Structure 1
């Protein structure tokens, strides 16, 4: 619009942001060079791409040109597609940061999916969401659609109450999921492994990780004491994954799972804040070119590149537990990495499941718990859950049998 509020340029887009047409009295001048287009994203006229602050997006293919920097941040399986835009649902979501999507009516989804003000579940669910969308298109007030739906339900709302309660209800939803998120960050790391053929610094020299057996001795290091010593392998683990990180260090390729901690002794930034392993331990997926890693001989090596890989077919990966120091060295150069205890992680998940069976669990937490159980190889059945039963409590069935039995 011009200074008088008259429209001089108009753009038409498809659902993915591709420019279909430019019209208006200034379409050939201002319209051609205007840098802010679809959803207010910055538009590069020369390439036809949008810049979403963290990375470029190509509306012609509906994909980002570089991988997401926060794996799984968008929730569900779509969150692990590192190049997908808005979980492949551009109608209902936007991604102005290039890292995390938000929904058109996310406030209402939080309320409908989790709670009502008095602790009872709102039975309207999808109907309420649809009513909200319909009210946007029809330009009618929320009360015209919301009140009839909620009448004779647990709680009747008007538009004022909606505004007053939204913040409170979202706070409740965050509080309900906080135990899982906090415990996940502080007590757990996922099954951490390397592909077959990865060299491990053992007592007799370099050995492929898949050949390491219980009782073998490998070189280990304690950042707390500065001691390097041969330590015994107490357990070995074999898993599968379809996600890997390719690191290039000293010209050597290391293929590991994204969560495996590497030791960066001088790292003090936020990347290490959620590990609970002490300062300096960074996930492979969080490493950056230029990071300095610790080597067996006490020297350092610089990370040359970091690449995340999604595989079509899962590959077998290996890990083991080391007594006392819980660390070992990999690759011909001898990079220091941490080890974890997957069985302990499984026990934590099982305990959570039993606790939640007694206290009740929301749909969101139930699915989050199941996803963790899958990730940590907790044996049992396929996922599933019943509907809400009187408020916050939920009956669960067909979850991993070792979680709820």
Structure 2
């Protein structure tokens, strides 16, 4: 009835494919969900206690638009120590409502109509819709399991045109768990500089690498000034519901993003910012504990998929496995729907992550070892029928 009031760009984008499968499994106690990418750990007690103290002290007001300076200083110190990135807290870091807002702000601030935004495929589902809403054009760069789902210079060169403006990257990657080494980034950085591209680097899983150390493309020579680094506290610090992220970059670029932030979100929640300060100061032990747990689960899930006939790339980061279901002859959506209905396991069909995701399913191992083992048993039974 009121469809005429909705813009064509909003009508044209599809609802989140991840949420669709999550909603199908919600409320059914018999379903094992490997769908939503959220740690199954509660925010540590000392972080919650710090917020309770702040609440009791009446700290309930707005913060500066760019976030508490104390938090920005802690972020700057953390990024320098952990990833060799140097930012000035006063004007090169802004705190956002989760890393999702930071991605939105960056794409809104830098896309002009017709700009081409290069996105590796498969990739996180939000990049293309946000690009579309801002009148940009998403150009996918295909990656493969054979190459570890890395972004390669050869594939990148093939898609660059005079309209190319932004390279959007996310390593470690959702949904594949792929990571990039310094050597992997070198030729990519050269192409970026040759073509005067801006890089938006979503590094929300930076802390969750298992067999290597995260390398930010911004740490390469000449890349800091042409890269927006985005991250936050949701994944590595078990703070999804607190909604605290951040963006870092050249002060002029951050100032442009801050203009939009001022008129929309205004500031991230103060209690979330206080929680983030406490996490950076005293939360490293809990972060490493979660990482060890994820690593154990990762090994169980990957070996389990391989043993039941689903080839699975070795994820080196994040908390997702991305097994191939091509040998079943089913499309990823059909496979996921049948898996849910017939054996009660919820996974996300790979096609929602772009054309490069077809033939795969994404399974989060942010679940207990017991649940993962049970899920593997159910999937094994399912596969015996399908093969």
Which range, TM-score by smaller chain? Answer: under 0.3
Q: Which has the higher helix share?
A: 2
TM-score (norm 1): 0.24
TM-score (norm 2): 0.24
